[in-house]
Amino acid sequence: MNLRKYLEVYNKFLHTSLASELEYKTNILIDLITAILSLIGSIFLLSIFFQNNGYIGGWKFEQALIIQAIYTILNGITNTWFNPNLTEIVKHIREGTLDFVLLKPIDSQFFISLKKINPSGILEIILGFFLLFFCIKINQINLNLSFLTLSLITISCSICILYSLWFFISTTTIWFVKTWNAIEVLRSFLYIGRFPLNSFSFSLRVFFSIFIPITFITTIPSEVFLGLSQVWKILLEVFVATVFLVTSRKFWLFALKFYSSASS
């Protein structure tokens, strides 16, 4: 893989999709307002849950706010990259425009995963980071190199798991043609990631850790921030992320053999 070429193509992707989005100024403004209101609403909802005794699953409100911050960052990444690109796969397959992607001398997964960008999602990422820095301050977290490295590793793994899950579901479109519902189910499961894993019953903890590893996505990075995480959990997250990423890649290459293109 020619890294320089891919960086240059990605630079063009950024440029063209930003230019496309900026054609519709009002739409961007509405998206920005929605992102701010959504964050305020989520924090408000979280504060209601904590009103009774101040603890859920052993987490204080200030600590749970870290999960909300990480969720906001990940949701921002979802809205910036995953949503505009991965939902488009379904459209590409239904309408047969995947033909143009497959006939380009570039990795098809790279092309369909990164071609578009939604700038309003970037505001969510920024808001998430603001909230995260606020949490670091109120929880008196000591920022050091190992803490930053572990945070970066766990958040990157979370992004990989989220991306792989979404990409895996989108790939099944090659057989099932319509998978909007499955993607909606995944998105609604993601909301669960705003709450600490310990706040769920044992059976749900197992379900959200093994079958749909949503809780890996937010809880483990949050535990790193609070210094509560154990090494085995971090290693497990790295392992899960690698398995998901490799499997989704292999599955995509396998699925392409069954691509029959849309009729003309």
Partner 1 sequence: MVQNIIDVRNLSKSFDISSKEPGLKGTIKHFFNRKTKSLKVIKDISFEIKEGEIVGFLGANGAGKTTILKMLCGLIYPSEGSILVSGHLPFRRKGNFLKNITLIMGQKQQLIWDLPPIESFYLNASIYDLDKFEAKKRIKKLSEMLEIDEELFIPVRKLSLGQRMKSELLAALIHEPNILFLDEPTLGLDINAQRNLRKFLKKYNKDTNATICLTSHYMKDITSLCERVICVHEGRISYDGKLNLLLKKLSPVKEILIVCRSEKDATRLESSGFTVKNKIKNEITLKIENNSITSSLKTILNNFDIEDLFINEPPIDEIIGKVLIKKDYDI
Residue entry with tokens 């769920």: 200
The single residue among 140, 143, 188, 257 that binds partner 1, judged by CB under 8 A, is: 257
Q: Which is nearer to partner 1, 15 or 60 (CB)?
A: 15
Candidate ranges 58-66, 78-86, 132-140, 252-260; the one touching partner 1 (CB under 8 A): 252-260
Region of 242 on the Ramachandran plot (φ > 0 left; ψ -120 to 50 alpha; else beta): alpha
Cβ of residue 185: shortest distance to partner 1, in angstroms?
A: 19
Candidate ranges 30-38, 100-108, 152-160, 188-196; the one touching partner 1 (CB under 8 A): 100-108
Q: Closest Cα partner for 124 from 39, 221, 40?
A: 39
Residue entry with tokens 């572990």: 150
Q: Which is nearer to partner 1, 16 or 47 (CB)?
A: 16
Q: Which is nearer to partner 1, 164 or 173 (CB)?
A: 173
Q: Which is nearer to partner 1, 177 or 204 (CB)?
A: 177
Cα–Cα dist 261/99, whole Å:
7
Query: Which structure tokens are listed for 137?
Result: 């301050």
Task: Give, in degrees to the nearest 5, the angle at Cα 34 between 195 and 196.
Answer: 5
Query: Which structure tokens are listed for 239?
Result: 């392992």
The single residue among 33, 99, 204, 253 that binds partner 1, judged by CB under 8 A, is: 99
Task: Give, in degrees to the nearest 5, the angle at Cα 233 between 232 and 237.
Answer: 115
Cα–Cα dist 213/199, whole Å:
15
Rule CB under 8 A: say whether 263 interacts with partner 1: yes
Cβ of residue 76: shortest distance to partner 1, in angstroms?
A: 23
Cα–Cα dist 189/166, whole Å:
12
Query: Which structure tokens are listed for 97?
Result: 């425009």
| Binders in 103-132 for partner 1, by CB under 8 A | 103-106
63 residue type, one letter? Q
Q: Which is nearer to partner 1, 103 or 143 (CB)?
A: 103
| Binders in 177-216 for partner 1, by CB under 8 A | none
Binding mask 3-32 for partner 1 (x = CB under 8 A): --x--xx-xxx-xx--xx--xx--------
Cβ of residue 18: shortest distance to partner 1, in angstroms?
A: 10
What residues are paired with 56 via a beta bridge? Answer: 59
Provide the binding-site residues for partner 1, judged by CB under 8 A: 2, 5, 8-9, 11-13, 15-16, 19-20, 23-24, 95-97, 99-100, 102-106, 257, 259-261, 263-264
